[in-house]
Every structure is written in C-alpha cells, then in structure tokens.
Amino acid sequence: MDSKTAIKVENLYKSFGKGDAYISVIEGASFEVQKGELVALVAPSGAGKTTLLMMIGCVEDPTSGSIWLGDEKVYDGKWLTKETRRIRREKIGFIFQAHYLIPFLNIIENVTLVPQTNGVSKEQSEKEALELLKYFDIEDKARSMPSELSGGQNQRAAIARALANKPQIILADEPTAALDTKRSVDVVKMLKKIATEQNVAVIMVTHDEAMLPLCDRVLTIENKKVVSKKSDKTKIL
C-alpha cells in the first residue's frame, strides 16, 4: 500500500440479523484516507456512519471485505489478529461526542492513562502529556478535575488524550455535537491542525454541514455505498 495511505477500505459490507430481521447497512464500501487529511463522514441518521467508523476502529465486526490501517492489513473476511485491542492502542485515537474523561482522575492522569498502559514510564508520559496540553492551550488545567473545566476545555483534553498514544489515525464521532458554533469551529480547526502538523489521518462523523468547508474531503453514504466528494472551500466560515 502507498506509504501516504493511512486507511484503506475495500469492498466492505456490514449487515445485521437474519431472515425477516436481516438489515443491510453498508454494501461494497471502498475508499482511502491519506495521512495529513481531515475527512468528514456525513449521512442521514441510521445510515451507518458510526458503524463504519467502528469497523475501521476494529471495534465492530464487518460482514466481509478488507481493511488496512497503515501498512498492516487488519481485516480480510476475518480479523487477521486476535489482538484488535493492541491495534486500537497503538494505531488509533478515538474522540466522541461526550468527552468520556474519567471523572475521578485529573486531566494529566486522563491523558497519560493509555501511554502508561502501553508501558511508557510515568515521567515520560507526563512530560509528553504536558506538551500536548500546552499545544491545546490548557496546560494550566493539568492538575484540575474534568468537573472544573468548561465543555470546550474538556473536549480539548479528550483530543489530547486521543493523541497521547501517537496514533496514525483519529476517529472522531460527532466531536462537536455538544458545542456551540464557535467552539465547534475551534475543535474542527484543531483537528485539521493535528492532521497537517502531525501527519495523522482524521475521519470525523458530523451532522453539521457548516463544518464541512473546514475539511479536506467529504465521505457520504448514499444507497448504502460510500461516496467521496471534494469539500466546498468557498463556504469557509
């Protein structure tokens, strides 16, 4: 696979149930996402956006097809490793609509949790976490509890946590849904900055069309197929 490609999906299918309960969600999805690219994923409710994201994230089992993450083929009709948890820890950062910070840990403890689980020393993980928090302009909140931060600050902390394991890929599921327009724009611009400066591929599920001009490209799900479209940069906010 091309060294610039972070995600490659080929002929991916996903269905649920059998017989009268059978539902087909994704049929033959094929696309690539490059390193340094911020891609929006939009579709009507129930069309399979989150399901597609979770398949790429090695959380949801596809029905058939193939998935590459970086230079590793992780799925080909079945998972090619029993260690999907390892893939998630090493390759992927997740960001959700709710920040899901652990409420009884302070911000730096939240950010360092995964690196320390991966064997990084406390000293090194805290040093890198402080650099991330400085990057997101919340270094002064490192010893604060999530309950002491605003919604936007907590979301920035959640993004820092997603970056703490130095992922190749960030999967963001409606990361701005709980934020007002200004904070939403700030978060999406931040995701674009991360993609560009850290050479990370970002897929962001969103229902907010106002965010699309800030993205490099838009993936849509139409008639159970994934279609790639250029972002209309003329509508930048």
pLDDT digits (tens, 9 = 90+) for 180-210: 888 788 889 889 988 999 899 999 999 888 8
pLDDT at residue 56 in the model: 96
pLDDT at residue 233 in the model: 62
Q: How confident is the model at residue 97 (pLDDT cuts 50, 70, 90)?
A: confident
pLDDT at residue 182 in the model: 83
236 has a pLDDT exceeding 60: no
Nearest to 174 by CA among 60, 57, 96: 96
> Looking at per-residue confidence, does 206 or 229 come out higher?
206
pLDDT at residue 92 in the model: 92
CB of 29 closer than 8 Å to CB of 11:
yes
For residues 227 and 87, what is the distance between their CA atoms, to the nearest angstrom? 26
For residues 53 and 63, what is the distance between their CA atoms, to the nearest angstrom? 14
The average pLDDT across 221-232 equals 83
Domain containing 210 — which CATH number? 3.40.50.300
Domain range for 81 is 5-235
CB of 227 closer than 8 Å to CB of 36:
no
CA angle 103, 58, 72 (to 5 degrees): 125
CB of 1 closer than 8 Å to CB of 33:
no
Nearest to 56 by CA among 37, 69, 71, 38: 69
pTM: 0.87
Q: What is the tally of structural domains in the chain? A: 1
Q: Both tokens of residue 211? A: 């965010």
H or E stretch at 41:
strand 38-42
pLDDT at residue 199 in the model: 93
DSSP letter, residue 79? B
Q: How confident is the model at residue 136 (pLDDT cuts 50, 70, 90)?
A: confident
| Mean pLDDT computed over every residue of the chain | 90
> Looking at per-residue confidence, does 148 or 47 come out higher?
148
Q: Both tokens of residue 180? A: 């007002």
For residues 195 and 36, what is the distance between their CA atoms, to the nearest angstrom? 4
